[in-house]
Amino acid sequence: MDSNLQPVSSTRPLAPTIGLVDGSPNLAGQLGSFHPGSQPFASFRNIDQAVQRPHLHNTARTQEAIALENSTHNNSNDGITLLPPVGPSFQQPSYEVLVQDPVAGSFAGQLQGMKLIPDPPNLDYWRHRLFHVDEMITLSEDEFQTYFPHVDNVYSHRSTQRYKRRPFVSHYWDCRLKGRPPGTPKSDDPNKKKRKRTARERDLCDVKIKITEYLPATSELDKAGGFESLPADLMPGRHTLFPVQGDQSFGIINPTPNIGAIPSETSGRRYYTIQRVNGNGANGKNDGVSGGHRHTLEESDRVKKNSVERHILKVKGKKKDMDQTMSAQQKSYHTKATGPAAATALIHSAETNLKLYGSCFCPFVQRVWISLELKGIPYQYIEINPYEKPKALLDINPRGLVPALQHDNWGCYESSVLMEYLEDLDFGARLFPADPKQRAHCRLWADHINRNIIPNFYRVLQEQEQQKQIANVQELRDAFNLLITAAHPSGPYFMGSQISFVDIQVAPWVLRLRRVLKPYRGWPDPEEGSRWASWVAAIESNEHVRATTSTDELYLDSYERYAENRPNTSQVANAINSGRGLP
Ligand SMILES: N[C@@H](CCC(=O)N[C@@H](CS)C(=O)NCC(=O)O)C(=O)O
């Protein structure tokens, strides 16, 4: 290994020259040099790209913002409806929702209409209060719906009791750490997601609470004698916890409850009382057992997240999914060649019996396209979007990849195979030398391009981790250096003065070094005067290569999704990501 081949770090500019493989001083190739002002390899991250390409990223950001807005403002398909802010005291409506669908909240079905407000005032206080339930707590409907979802992880619903002709419903909840009593059937609902259950020791805690829900029409019906009177132990008194601000209806039970009176704030409205019904907590049994939890609130939180936290995670997860879908949709495929390639496509748009199905950004297509141009074979160029996989493409190539070639009623695919097919037509300029040994030499180095250069090109482009980018860059440089050692000493092409098979095999990626790897990964320009520089210049200026090349902007755009390694960019990108060979 050449000692000049130093790993590149983002803090150190590239060595000005890249030496060649041992023993080839006459092939004085130098792959590249670092130019002051350009970025070192591997220093480009998405943020840098955003700075460099504000026009693209502004668009992306705007669409992302729209996606987020939609996810928080129009998110009704999970049965949760967003509400406007709840009044002046709650200022964080971002995830505020009303649980309407019994499936949406753990308590739904038992208690509906829960709000999911991430950070209501005095949350810690209320979480502890509702955890310990040392005294009976009375909450207005709004308060209950706001705070209970923050502690519903502590409890699991056991039963609901409805009373005939009584204006309230009682819901009994056990501390979740009690565990499921033996014999409790698991849900047989086939739609219910099967969760991984952690076997917990049973009866870790005895706390039971009763939540009594007083129904809205209470006072009217009560007055009209429609219901039996409320049991005395459930009649809430109240005192104010916080300085009263206007009509703020917050309270817990007065230690000496105002038995017999429904507080005026709750009259005619739904409200809730919460009391512990084990031990001598709020149940008044006074049996000497404190009856509190045998663990902390933090331990309950470790066992399960509350509904608000779960909802926030769900919304965030949905946003992430949506971002990924959005960015997948933002794949900017150019569906039309630009610049010289557009002119060539137009010239070759007339119907003929030899059709090249191609895509303007695709380097594999460009191989075949250059070959057709070089040979002067009459052909029809048909631009297609390989990601949409039109039938015409699939009829020829069931893998759905371009290039695909149709000749009369026969079709074939795979860029290297197609180049050889065109060669075998024996028309126009030759791609291979006549000498079988030299032909084998060309095939050997074409194989090197396909095995080493092309996969490494995509690895450099797709890798997001800086250390790995550095390693990939080194491998790509090594692969190019090896090819240069095999090239004709003065060239400028691989076999000498004429462009041939190996040049055309590698040309599309050589063009994309400056157009794609340079802006996205800081790939250096060739060192002036080097063998590599003369080869690159010959490829760049070749009339057939130029005729099939679009403007720089098309490549910059088309490869952005690779550079960001967006999910499902292409079969090539997926193969690279999963360590498979190219498709
Ligand atoms: N090995 C194939 C590779 C062709 C290829 O990957 N083409 C890409 C466009 S550059 C394609 O059609 N992608 C469609 C997809 O990923 O679904 C060849 O040499 O022709």
Handedness of CA 573, 475, 533, 495 (dihedral sign): negative
| Residue of the CA atom closest to atom 13 of ligand 1 | 401
Other Cβ atoms within 10 Å of 544 Cβ, number:
20
From residue 157, alpha-carbon distances to 133, 153, 154, 188, 322 in Å are 16, 10, 10, 18, 33
Q: Which atom of ligand 1 is nearest to the CA of 571?
A: 16
Whole-angstrom distance, CA of residue 485 vs CA of residue 389: 40
Residue 198: predicted pLDDT: 56
| Residue of the CA atom closest to atom 11 of ligand 1 | 401
From residue 118, alpha-carbon distances to 241, 257, 315 in Å are 21, 32, 12
Report the separation in Å between the CA atom of 364 and the middle of ligand 1, taken as the mean of its atom positions: 7
Q: What are phi and psi of 436, to 5 degrees?
A: -55, -35
- The number of angstroms, rounded, from the C-alpha of 188 to the middle of its chain's C-alpha atoms is 33
Let me know if 559 is exposed, middle or buried by CB neighbors in 10 A (0-12, 13-18, 19+): buried
Whole-angstrom distance, CA of residue 194 vs CA of residue 383: 48
Q: Which atom of ligand 1 is nearest to the CA of 401?
A: 12
310, 105 in Cβ contact below 8 A? no
Q: Which atom of ligand 1 is nearest to the CA of 387?
A: 17
Indicate if ligand 1 lies below 6 Å from the C-beta of 258: no
Residue 133: predicted pLDDT: 93
Indicate if ligand 1 lies below 6 Å from the C-beta of 401: yes
Residue 167: predicted pLDDT: 85
DSSP per residue, 115-161: B--SS-TTHHHHHHHHHH--S-EEEEHHHHHHHGGGTTTTEEEEEEE
Half-sphere exposure of 194 (CA within 13 A, CB side): 3
Indicate if ligand 1 lies below 6 Å from the C-beta of 400: yes
334, 383 in Cβ contact below 8 A? no
Whole-angstrom distance, CA of residue 133 vs CA of residue 125: 12
Indicate if ligand 1 lies below 6 Å from the C-beta of 177: no
219, 168 in Cβ contact below 8 A? no
Indicate if ligand 1 lies below 6 Å from the C-beta of 172: no
Indicate if ligand 1 lies below 6 Å from the C-beta of 583: yes
Residue 4: predicted pLDDT: 34
129, 148 in Cβ contact below 8 A? no
Report the separation in Å between the CA atom of 547 and the middle of ligand 1, taken as the mean of its atom positions: 21
Q: Which atom of ligand 1 is nearest to the CA of 402?
A: 12
Indicate if ligand 1 lies below 6 Å from the C-beta of 527: no
Indicate if ligand 1 lies below 6 Å from the C-beta of 368: no
Report the separation in Å between the CA atom of 387 and the middle of ligand 1, taken as the mean of its atom positions: 10
Residue 79: predicted pLDDT: 31
Place of tokens 């340079």: 518
pLDDT tens, N- to C-terminus, the chain (583 residues) = 333 333 333 322 222 223 222 323 222 234 543 332 333 333 322 223 322 333 333 333 334 333 333 333 333 333 333 333 333 333 333 344 444 433 333 444 555 677 888 889 999 999 999 999 988 999 998 899 999 999 999 999 888 888 888 888 999 999 998 876 655 566 666 666 555 555 566 778 889 999 999 887 544 444 444 444 444 333 333 322 222 333 333 333 333 233 333 444 445 688 999 999 987 655 555 555 578 898 999 999 988 999 999 988 888 888 777 766 665 555 566 889 999 999 999 999 999 999 999 999 999 999 999 999 999 999 999 999 999 999 999 999 999 999 999 999 999 999 999 999 999 999 999 999 999 999 999 999 999 999 999 999 999 999 999 899 999 999 999 999 999 999 999 999 999 999 999 999 999 999 999 999 999 999 999 999 999 999 999 999 999 999 999 999 999 999 999 999 888 888 999 999 888 888 9
23, 492 in Cβ contact below 8 A? no
Indicate if ligand 1 lies below 6 Å from the C-beta of 386: yes
381, 345 in Cβ contact below 8 A? yes
Report the separation in Å between the CA atom of 405 and the middle of ligand 1, taken as the mean of its atom positions: 13
Residue 282: predicted pLDDT: 54
| Residue of the CA atom closest to atom 10 of ligand 1 | 362
Domains in the chain: ranges and CATH: 46-57+332-577 (1.20.1050.10), 88-181+202-318 (no CATH)
